[in-house]
């Protein structure tokens, strides 16, 4: 039984890794093509519509994506209880989606910015419907990560092909919006059709909605804070500036999102282990992996942040084209958020949530959203996308400060254990060496490849010279696995 459980955990880990990889590989392949076809105006329109609709989708979901996982996981071994619970949550979801659609249609015809692009907004709004019937929370509660991953990759691949076949000219931005929603949410139809394997869809009656409604309030508040906080800049830019400015900002944050998914992936892997240690009262082990996680973020996020500040121009022009020069400065300003988000992800998701202190995460996100709103109101009218980037950076700093103050007694030692001098020296040496590539007058692709190779190798070499423990540990494990694979193949040949 234990071996089977460990095997299942390993499979889930691999599936989660694949899912994380596809989430940033898909935009990495499509965005360079789409941004050159649609230009900042087209990508800006879609980004604005997606950000606005995300608020209506948030209202329709009512915090169920988070709450549903927890409550369904508790009863997953009892099909009757699981069916009743899942049906109750599905009914709440569908009712809220209908209400959300009603409010959406009213605003669609009342707000000029929405009415002018009503076809695009209607297409993007299908995400509300897909999320309502998808019951993704049930599949996660049942730990069906293999199904989730394979399904997600399949739909993303279909969307990838459709993107290159159907988005051919500047006016195809509505098609692009539809394909984006298809890639992200259309697989929920398959979820709904497949759900009969795990629960019955026949009404069971005697539903109890009140206990769920009480419980989802905190989760809904957290979702509100996160979504408002994530999409606020784009929405405010859409109302206060032009589609071109939204397009510039979208190009900058697209690269940030790709990098953030790499930095924060560790938190997803460590969360179950952290919760396990807290539940068992093994607090020494809990704080041990916390220290390691903070050190990991420092070691990974710092060089990525510095490299993409130095090579922001090359990164933007290669991925988006020469029409996006206005995205270079916003990207440079926003890059330090890689480090801040990485740290708050560890403090919030890995420490506060397992300790049952979700409210502190909520308060920190509310504080960040308020600061972001105030700075956006002041800066966007004068500085457009640059002002939005400054607002985002400041907001992330505020979130980190709130969480750090709340956890000071628990995380101060972890921050003190980080060897900052080796990291700074390694980053400094790498920056100086890689920056010389700019003088060789190579094309964007070769400049990025060669500079990244020099930066990465120099960084690792210096950290090895300083005998950085975590780097040596990761390298030892990596080479040990490679050695075992080669040894196994050699034995098989014999």
Question: Of 444, 134, 428, 487, which is closest to residue 307 (Cα–Cα)?
Answer: 428
Q: Which alpha helices (DSSP H) does 281-336 contain, by range?
A: 283-310, 312-320, 328-334
Lookup: tokens for 402? 């709130």
Neighbours of 6 (CB within 10 A): 10
Q: pLDDT value at position 429? A: 95
The helix/strand count (H/E) of the chain reads as 22, 0
Question: Of 449, 454, 453, 459, which is closest to residue 427 (Cα–Cα)?
Answer: 459
Q: pLDDT value at position 264? A: 73
Which residues have a Cβ under 8 Å from the Cβ of 101 and sit 6 or more positions away?
Answer: 56, 60, 125, 128, 129
Can you give the pLDDT of all 494 residues of the chain as single tens digits? 443 444 454 565 566 666 766 766 777 788 888 888 888 888 889 888 988 888 888 888 877 877 787 778 777 777 888 888 888 888 888 998 999 999 999 999 888 888 888 899 999 999 888 888 888 878 877 777 778 778 888 888 888 899 999 999 988 999 999 988 888 787 888 888 888 888 888 887 777 777 777 777 777 777 777 777 677 788 888 888 888 888 888 888 777 877 887 777 655 555 445 555 665 677 777 777 778 888 888 998 999 999 999 999 988 888 887 888 888 999 999 999 999 998 988 888 777 766 777 788 888 888 988 998 899 999 999 898 899 899 999 999 999 999 999 888 888 888 888 889 999 999 999 999 999 998 887 888 889 989 999 999 999 999 999 998 878 877 777 677 677 666 776 666 65
d(CA 259, CA 339): 10
- The whole model's pTM is what? 0.74
């Amino acid at each position: 039984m234990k071996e089977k459980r460990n095997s299942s955990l390993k499979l889930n880990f691999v599936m989660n890794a694949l899912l994380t990889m596809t989430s940033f590989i898909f935009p990495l392949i499509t965005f360079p093509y789409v941004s050159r076809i649609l230009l900042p105006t087209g990508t800006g329109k879609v980004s604005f519509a997606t950000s606005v609709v995300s608020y209506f989708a948030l209202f329709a979901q009512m915090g169920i994506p988070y709450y549903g996982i927890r409550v369904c996981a508790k009863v997953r071994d009892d099909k009757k209880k699981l069916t009743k619970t899942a049906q109750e949550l599905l009914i709440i979801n569908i009712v809220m989606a209908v209400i959300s659609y009603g409010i959406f249609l009213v605003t669609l015809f009342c707000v000029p910015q929405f009415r002018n692009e009503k076809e695009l907004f209607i297409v993007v709004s299908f995400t509300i419907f897909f999320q309502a019937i998808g019951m993704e929370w049930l599949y996660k509660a049942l730990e069906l990560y293999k199904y989730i991953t394979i399904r997600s990759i399949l739909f993303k691949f279909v969307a990838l092909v459709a993107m290159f076949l159907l988005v051919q000219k500047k006016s195809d931005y509505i098609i692009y919006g539809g394909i984006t929603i298809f890639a992200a949410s259309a697989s929920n139809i398959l979820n709904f059709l497949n759900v009969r394997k795990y629960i019955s869809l026949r009404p069971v009656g005697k539903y109890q909605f009140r206990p769920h409604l009480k419980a989802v309030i905190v989760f809904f508040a957290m979702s509100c804070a996160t979504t408002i906080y994530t999409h606020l800049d784009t929405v405010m830019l859409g109302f206060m500036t032009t589609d071109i400015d939204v397009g510039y900002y979208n190009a900058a944050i697209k690269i940030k999102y790709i990098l953030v998914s790499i930095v924060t992936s560790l938190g997803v892997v460590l969360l179950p282990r952290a919760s396990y240690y807290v539940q068992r009262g093994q607090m020494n082990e809990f704080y041990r992996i916390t220290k390691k996680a903070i050190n990991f973020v420092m070691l990974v996020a710092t060089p990525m942040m510095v490299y993409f500040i130095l090579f922001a121009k090359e990164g933007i022009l290669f991925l988006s084209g020469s029409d996006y020069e206005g995205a270079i400065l916003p990207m440079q300003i926003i890059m330090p958020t890689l480090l801040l988000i990485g740290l708050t992800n560890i403090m919030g998701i890995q420490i506060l949530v397992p300790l049952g202190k979700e409210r502190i995460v909520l308060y920190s996100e509310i504080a960040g959203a308020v600061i972001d709103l105030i700075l956006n109101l002041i800066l966007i009218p004068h500085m457009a996308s640059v002002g939005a980037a400054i607002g985002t950076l400041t907001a992330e700093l505020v979130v980190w400060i709130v969480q750090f103050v709340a956890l000071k007694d628990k995380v101060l030692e972890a921050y003190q254990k980080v060897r900052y001098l080796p990291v700074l020296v390694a980053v400094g040496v790498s920056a100086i060496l890689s920056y010389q590539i700019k003088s060789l007058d190579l094309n964007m692709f070769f400049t990025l490849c060669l500079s990244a190779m020099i930066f990465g190798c120099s960084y690792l070499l210096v950290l090895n010279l300083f005998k950085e423990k975590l780097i040596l540990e990761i390298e030892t494990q990596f080479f040990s696995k490679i050695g075992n694979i080669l040894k196994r193949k050699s034995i098989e040949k014999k």
